[in-house]
Structure 1
């Protein structure tokens, strides 16, 4: 039963996170921060799955945006999660300690 409950929780988190990722783009220098471009990272952020190559590529492109995502009250709970930190580490991106 416990396995079913945790998979249901993950299943419910994906649509919520996807909706939150559709927030308006933000400019950070030469990078346009579009959280929805990181949709390929959702499976790795909501489960123990490893991030895909596409996820890591997009995350590297949007690395300057991570502090903005961490400061955004609607995205903070996802980007400050242990899985988000694991995704960043697996992709070779330093996770911002201070923003």
Structure 2
């Protein structure tokens, strides 16, 4: 019985550690490169684009506040891509 409790606690700690690691995001606009063609040509975004956009969501305000990156996130095509990918563009 004691072994089961130790196993359960270990499992919970591993799950918590994994979720904590997945929350850490490195903000890098280069990560959004898979979205470049969808944003520039208004073509449908790829799964890779949506995945990267979702991963970079915590960084979007930082990109919006940067004058050289703002249009990459706030242009009409960028908003369309975000909408298709179900990523809300934040109000910063």
Decide: shared fold, TM above 0.5.
yes
Match of 1:44 in 2: 38
Q: Distance in 2 between matches of 1:30 and 1:59?
A: 15
SS in 2 for 1:31: coil
Match of 2:24 in 1: 30
Matched, 1:80 2:66: no
Pick from 47, 57, 69: which aligns with 2:51? 57
Structure 1 or 2: more helix by fraction: 2
Structure 1 or 2: more strand by fraction: 1
How big is the shift at 1:48? 1.7
How big is the shift at 1:83? 0.5
Matched, 1:92 2:86: yes
Q: TM-score, normalised by structure 2?
A: 0.72
Unaligned 5+ segments in structure 1 are: 1-28
SS in 2 for 1:33: coil
Unaligned 5+ segments in structure 2 are: 1-22
Q: Distance in 1 between matches of 2:74 and 2:86?
A: 17
